[in-house]
Amino acid sequence: MANEELEALRVAITETDNDLLATIAKRQKLTHQVAETKIKHHIQVRDQVREEQLLVRLIKQGQEVGLDPHFVTKLFHVIIEDSVLNQQSLLAQRANPEASLPINRVAFLGEKGSYSYLATQKYFARRSGELVEIGCKSFPDIIATVESNEADFAVLPIENTSSGSINEVYDQLQHTRLSIIGELTHEINHALLIHEDVELGKIKTLYAHPQVFAQCSHFLAELGNIEVKPCDSTSAAMLVVNELKSPEVAAIGSEGGGRLYGLKAVKSKLANQKENHSRFIVVARNPIKVPLQVPAKTTMIMSTVQSPGALVDALTVLKDNDIAMTKLESRPINGNPWEEMFYIDVEGNIEDGPMQKAVESLRDMTRYFKILGCYPVEDVAPTRVAVASSLTQ
Amino acid sequence: MANEELEALRVAITETDNDLLATIAKRQKLTHQVAETKIKHHIQVRDQVREEQLLVRLIKQGQEVGLDPHFVTKLFHVIIEDSVLNQQSLLAQRANPEASLPINRVAFLGEKGSYSYLATQKYFARRSGELVEIGCKSFPDIIATVESNEADFAVLPIENTSSGSINEVYDQLQHTRLSIIGELTHEINHALLIHEDVELGKIKTLYAHPQVFAQCSHFLAELGNIEVKPCDSTSAAMLVVNELKSPEVAAIGSEGGGRLYGLKAVKSKLANQKENHSRFIVVARNPIKVPLQVPAKTTMIMSTVQSPGALVDALTVLKDNDIAMTKLESRPINGNPWEEMFYIDVEGNIEDGPMQKAVESLRDMTRYFKILGCYPVEDVAPTRVAVASSLTQ
C-alpha cells in the first residue's frame, strides 16, 4: 500500500526530473549561442551585474511558488558555474584550434579510480574529443610521457588544502619544457571501502597510499588494533581489496573511485581536516593563448640574486602593475644552497599590457625567469545576493 | 547589433529559467507528498539506493542531451539535499506540534548582516511561521533572552573550520537549561566591503570584528599601511562604513550582509584559510523529539572522576554500543582544577535502544552527566556515484 503510493509519486518525480534535464539542455544551447555572440563581438564572458539581477528575480519568483531562497541561490550558482565554464571552454578552444584534438591522451598518477584519474575525468568532460587515459607510476613518468609525445596532456596535483604544496611536482616543473594550460579543483573525500558488508570491528588490514594514512591519522587511532599496508596509489589499494574479496580487509580512497572496483563506502570524510580539496594543473607540450574575455591566471618561476629585499623588489613590480598574486611558493635549488626558486601564481593574462610590463621588469631584475603558463581560471566565484533583503522586499 | 542578439537570447534564457523554477516547485510538491506517505507508514526519509539509481539514470540521460555528468551530479545533489531537508523538517514539525509557532522570535549575535544573522535567516527559511529577529550584544545576553521568554530560539556559533571551537558558547551551555534543537553549517566568506568604487591603495581605515582581523591576517599584511579599527560585530563594522560614506574606509564581512548596508564587495575570500565554515546550534527552552526516520545527533556533557582512563572508559561505552562520536571537546570547570567537562556529539537518537543503554551506563560512571539535546542532522551527505563508470556503460 505504502509502496504503491510511493511508486506513483516516484513516477511523477521521474517525469519532472526528465523535464528538468530537457530544460537545462535547452538553456545550455542558448548560453552556447550567447558565447558565440560574445566571441564575435569581443564581449566579456561574465556579466555579474546581470547575474545578480537574474538571481534576485529568480529568488523572488521562487518564493512565490514556495521555494527556499537559499536553495534557489545554490541551484542557480551551479547552473551559472556550468554555463560560465562552458563559455570559457568554447572561447579557449576557438583561440587554440590546434589544441583541439580528436583524441586527448592524458597521463596521470595511478590507475582507474585514483584521485588524479577522477580529476582527469572531470577536466576533460568539458572538452571535445575522446579521452584516452594513461595511468603512470610517478610524477617523472607522467612528465616523460608527455615530453615524448606518448600523451598529449598530463594532470598533476599541485596543492592540497590539508597537506599543502606538492613539492615533488613543483620540482618537476623547474626542469621541463611543458606548459601549464589549465587548472581544476577537486574534492578529496577519503572513504573506507570494503568488498562486502562487515562490521568495522572485524576489519584487520587496511590498504592505502601512505599520504592518505597521514591525512586520516585520527581515524586510524580510533580504529585501534589494525594492520596498515601502504600501496603505491589509491587505485592500487582498491585493486587489492577487490581481489582479496575478504570481509577482513578495507581500502581508503574516494567513494566514486571505489565503485569502479565494486567496493562500497561504509564511512566517509575520514581525513583529520574536514575540508579537503586538491588543486590540479593540466600541462601540455605547447602553451595556449587565453582569450582576453576569459579570466586568466599566469604561473611563473624565478630565482633572484641573493641580496636582502630582492624578492620584495620583485613582488613590488607586481603590486605596482596592479597584479594580484594568488600563490607564492619557494623551493631550494638543487646544488645551489645560496639560491631559492620562487613559484608565483598571479591573476592576469600574459597578453595584457600591465602583465607584459611586469614580466619585462622581472626578466631584467632576476637571475632566472620563466613563464610556466597562462590558463583560464576554473574557479567560478558565485555571484552573491543579499538573500535576506530580497526576502523582505 | 550584438546587444540585440544578446537580448533576444536572454529573453529565451529567462523563459527556460521560469520553466526550471516551475518544474522544481512541482517536484517539491511531489516530495512533500512522499514525506506524508513516509510519515504515515514509518519509512526512513533517505533511500540512498534509490538516489543512486536516480543519479545514474539522470547522468546517462543528461549525456544524451550533451550535459556534463559532473554538472548533472552537482545539480541533483543540490535538489536532493533540499528535498531531504524539507522532508526532515516536515517530520520534525509533525513530531513536535507544540514547537511550531506562528511567530519565531530568534536571538543571535550582532545585527542585520552579521554571520549569525545570515545563519538565522537560512535556518528559519525552512520553518513555517514568521521570523522576528532579536540582535544581541553577547552570548550571555542571547541565552538570557531565551531563558526569560523574550525569544523562543537562539542561534549560536559553536565551531569554525579555521578558528576551532567557540569556548565561550560551550561554557554558556554548561550553565543553562536550554536544549539544543537543531544545527546548521554556514559558509563564512570574508569580503572587503566599500561604499563606493575606490582603489585598494586609497583605503586608510578598516573596520571589523577582532576575530575577523585574526582570520585575515595575511591579507592585512599584504595591504600594508592601514589603520585597523575593531568593532563589536561584523554588522557594527558595516554600519560605520555605511554611515561614513567615505572612499577611504572599508569593512570586512560577508558580501550578502554588506549588501544590506549598501556596501559593495571588491575582494572576497580574504581569510588565511580558503575553506571557512561555521557550525551553528539552535537552542530553545524545551527539547524536541526527533522522529526515528530522520538521522539524529545527540550532544551530551559529562565530567568523569579524576582517575586515569576514566574518559577512555566512557568512550568505550559508546563504542561498545556502536555509537559513532562526531566531536569531543574538553573544557576546564571553573574552580575545579582537578576536573574537566567533556562535550560529546554522537550520531544517534536519544530514543533509540543502544543510545538509551549507553546513556544509562554513562550516568552511572560519571560524576555529572547531562543531555544537551537531540536534533536532526542538517548535513545531508551527497550520494556518490562512479561518474566515470557511468560514462563508459
CB of B49 less than 8 A from some CB of A: no
User: Could you give the count of Cα atoms lying within 13 Å of B243 in the half-sphere of its Cβ?
Assistant: 7
Quickly count: other Cβ atoms within 10 Å of residue B24's Cβ: 21
Residue B267 — very low, low, confident or very high, per pLDDT cuts 50/70/90?
Answer: confident
CA–CA distance, A111 with A142 (Å, rounded to integer): 12
Residue type, B24: I
Residue to test with chain B: of A159, A259, A263, A393, most B Cβ within 10 A: A259
What is the sign, positive or negative, of the torsion defined by CA atoms of A10, A12, A13, A19?
positive
Predicted confidence (pLDDT) per residue in A303-315, tens digit: 876 666 777 888 8
Decide if B41 and A1 are in contact by the 8 Å CB cutoff. Answer: yes
Q: Report pLDDT for A391.
A: 41
Q: Do A103-188+276-287 and A191-267 have matching folds?
A: yes
Decide if B71 and A82 are in contact by the 8 Å CB cutoff. Answer: yes
Q: Report pLDDT for A388.
A: 45
Q: Report pLDDT for A306.
A: 66
Q: Kindly list the domain boundaries of chain A, sorted by start residue.
A: 2-96, 103-188+276-287, 191-267, 296-376
Residue A338 — very low, low, confident or very high, per pLDDT cuts 50/70/90?
Answer: low
CB of B275 less than 8 A from some CB of A: yes
Quickly count: other Cβ atoms within 10 Å of residue A337's Cβ: 9
Decide if B9 and A30 are in contact by the 8 Å CB cutoff. Answer: yes
Residue type, B83: S
Second-level CATH architecture of A103-188+276-287: 3-Layer(aba) Sandwich (3.40)
Decide if B161 and A268 are in contact by the 8 Å CB cutoff. Answer: no
C-alpha separations of A208 from A118, A239, A250, B182 in Å: 17, 11, 9, 36
| Residues from chain B contacting residue A117 (CB–CB below 8 Å) | 388
Separation in Å, CA of A357 to nearest CA in chain B: 20
Q: Give, as one character, the DSSP assignment of residue A330.
A: E
CB of B228 less than 8 A from some CB of A: no
Residue type, A320: D
Which residue is listed with cell 564581449?
A: A43
Mean residue pLDDT across chain A = 87
C-alpha separations of A308 from A172, A314, A319, B20, B127 in Å: 27, 12, 19, 59, 60
C-alpha separations of A346 from A178, A321, B162 in Å: 19, 12, 25
What residues contact A71, with CB distance under 8 A and at least 6 apart?
A: A62, B78, B82
Mean pLDDT in residue range B31-47: 88
H-only helix segments in chain A: 2-41, 48-64, 69-95, 115-124, 139-147, 167-174, 210-215, 217-223, 234-244, 255-259, 310-320, 353-365, 387-392
| Bridge partners (DSSP) listed for residue A147 | none
In terms of pLDDT, which residue wins out, B266 or A207? Answer: A207
CA–CA distance, B386 with A351 (Å, rounded to integer): 40
Q: Report pLDDT for A179.
A: 96
CB of A221 less than 8 A from some CB of B: no
Q: Is A367 annotated as a binding residue?
A: no
| Bridge partners (DSSP) listed for residue A136 | A109
Predicted confidence (pLDDT) per residue in A222-250, tens digit: 777 888 898 888 899 999 999 998 888 99
| Residues from chain B contacting residue A66 (CB–CB below 8 Å) | 25, 28
Q: Is A275 annotated as a binding residue?
A: no
Predicted confidence (pLDDT) per residue in B311-343, tens digit: 788 888 998 898 888 888 877 776 666 667 888
Q: Report pLDDT for A370.
A: 92
Cell numbers that stand for A376 in this block: 583560464
Chain B residue with the nearest C-alpha to that of A60: B21
CB of A268 less than 8 A from some CB of B: yes
| Residues from chain A contacting residue B258 (CB–CB below 8 Å) | 386
CA–CA distance, B128 with B353 (Å, rounded to integer): 31
Q: Report pLDDT for B11.
A: 92
CB-based burial label for A338 (10 Å; 0-12, 13-18, 19+): exposed
CA–CA distance, B235 with B119 (Å, rounded to integer): 13
Of A83-87, A102-106, A156-160, B387-391, minimum mean pLDDT range:
B387-391
Separation in Å, CA of B332 to nearest CA in chain A: 23
E-strand stretches of B209-333: 227-230, 249-253, 264-267, 277-284, 296-303, 325-333
Quickly count: other Cβ atoms within 10 Å of residue A257's Cβ: 29
| Residues from chain B contacting residue A165 (CB–CB below 8 Å) | none
DSSP string, A64-113: HTT--HHHHHHHHHHHHHHHHHHHHHHHHHHH-GGG--SEEEEEEESSTT
Separation in Å, CA of A381 to nearest CA in chain B: 9
Residue type, B62: G
Which residue is listed with cell 598533476?
A: A156
- Least CB–CB distance from B37: residue in A9, A12, A277: A9
| B 324-383: CB under 8 A from A | 381
Chain B residue with the nearest C-alpha to that of A81: B71
Helix (H) or strand (E) holding B388: helix B387-392
Cell numbers that stand for B347 in this block: 550520531
| Residues from chain A contacting residue B76 (CB–CB below 8 Å) | 17
The fold of the A191-267 domain, in CATH, is: D-Maltodextrin-Binding Protein; domain 2 (3.40.190)
| Residues from chain A contacting residue B43 (CB–CB below 8 Å) | 2, 6
DSSP string, B178-219: -EEEEEEEEE---EEEESS---GGG--EEEE-HHHHHHTHHH
Chain A residue with the nearest C-alpha to that of B55: A17
Chain B residue with the nearest C-alpha to that of A265: B384
- Strand A205-208 relative to strand A249-253: parallel, antiparallel, unpaired? parallel
Cell numbers that stand for A269 in this block: 570524510
Q: Do A201 and A231 touch, CB atoms closer than 8 A?
A: no
Decide if A43 and B6 are in contact by the 8 Å CB cutoff. Answer: yes
Separation in Å, CA of B17 to nearest CA in chain A: 8
- Residue B36: strand, helix, or coil: helix
- Least CB–CB distance from A30: residue in B16, B61, B259: B16
CB of B23 less than 8 A from some CB of A: yes
Q: Is A64 annotated as a binding residue?
A: no
Separation in Å, CA of A363 to nearest CA in chain B: 23
Decide if A25 and B62 are in contact by the 8 Å CB cutoff. Answer: yes
DSSP string, A148-185: TTS-SEEEEEEEETTTEE-HHHHHHHHT---EEEEEEE
- Least CB–CB distance from B66: residue in A25, A30, A75: A25
CB of A187 less than 8 A from some CB of B: no
Phi-psi bin for A335: left (phi > 0), alpha (psi -120 to 50), beta? left
Residue type, B210: P
| Residues from chain B contacting residue A112 (CB–CB below 8 Å) | 388
Cell numbers that stand for A170 in this block: 613543483
Second-level CATH architecture of A2-96: Up-down Bundle (1.20)
CB of A175 less than 8 A from some CB of B: no
Q: Do B304 and B342 touch, CB atoms closer than 8 A?
A: yes
Of A29-43, A220-234, A333-347, B164-178, minimum mean pLDDT range:
A333-347
Predicted confidence (pLDDT) per residue in B337-363, tens digit: 666 788 899 999 999 999 999 999 999
Predicted confidence (pLDDT) per residue in B64-91, tens digit: 888 988 899 999 999 999 999 888 888 8
| B 244-263: CB under 8 A from A | 254-260
Q: Would the pLDDT of A392 be above 50?
A: no
Decide if A23 and B23 are in contact by the 8 Å CB cutoff. Answer: yes
CB of A316 less than 8 A from some CB of B: no
What values do phi and psi take at B239, rounded to 5? -60, -45
Decide if B75 and A79 are in contact by the 8 Å CB cutoff. Answer: yes
Of A174-178, A356-360, B167-171, B388-392, minimum mean pLDDT range:
B388-392
E-strand stretches of B246-363: 249-253, 264-267, 277-284, 296-303, 325-333, 336-347
Predicted confidence (pLDDT) per residue in A1-16, tens digit: 678 888 999 999 999 9
Separation in Å, CA of A177 to nearest CA in chain B: 31
CATH of domain B296-376: 3.30.70.260
Decide if B24 and A67 are in contact by the 8 Å CB cutoff. Answer: yes
- Strand B368-376 relative to strand B296-303: parallel, antiparallel, unpaired? antiparallel
CB of B62 less than 8 A from some CB of A: yes
Predicted confidence (pLDDT) per residue in B94-143, tens digit: 888 888 888 999 999 988 889 999 999 999 988 888 999 999 988 999 99
Q: Do B58 and B313 touch, CB atoms closer than 8 A?
A: no
